[in-house]
Structure 1
Amino acid sequence: MLNIVVIDGQGGGLGKSIISKLRTEFSNEINITSLGTNSHAAKAMLKAGANSSYFGDEYITNYIDKNDISCLIAPIGILCTGGLNNEVTPNLSEAVFKKECTKYIIPLRKHGFYIPGTTSLEIKDILNEIIYDIKNAKN
Structure 2
Amino acid sequence: MKIAVIDAQGAGLGQNIIKRIRREIDNHVYIVALGTNSFATSKMVQAGADVGISGERAISSFCKSTKIDSIIGPIGIICSGGINGEITPMISNVIFNMNCTKYILPLQKHGIYIPGTRNLQIKDIIEEIIFDIKQNIL
**Aligned residues: percent identity?**
49
Measure how far apart 1:28 and its partner are: 2.6
- Equivalent in the alignment of 2:36: 37
C-alpha RMSD of the superposition: 0.6
Measure how far apart 1:26 and its partner are: 1.1
- Equivalent in the alignment of 2:64: 65
Q: Deviations over 1:46-103 (max 9, x none)?
A: 0000000011000000011111101000100011110010001111001000000000
Counterpart CA distance in 2 for 1:108 and 1:73 is 13
Residue correspondence of structure 1 range 1-139 to structure 2 within 5 A = 2-139=1-138
Contact preservation (8 Å) 2:28, 2:137: no
SS for the counterpart of 2:27 is: coil
Aligned residues: 138
User: Which consecutive residues of structure 1, in runs of 5 or more, have no partner in the other structure?
Assistant: none
SS for the counterpart of 1:73 is: strand
TM-score, structure 2 length as denominator? Answer: 0.98
Measure how far apart 1:116 and its partner are: 1.0
TM-score, structure 1 length as denominator? Answer: 0.97
Measure how far apart 1:35 and its partner are: 0.2
SS for the counterpart of 1:5 is: strand
**AA partner of residue 23 (structure 1):** R
Measure how far apart 1:129 and its partner are: 0.4
Counterpart CA distance in 2 for 1:112 and 1:60 is 26
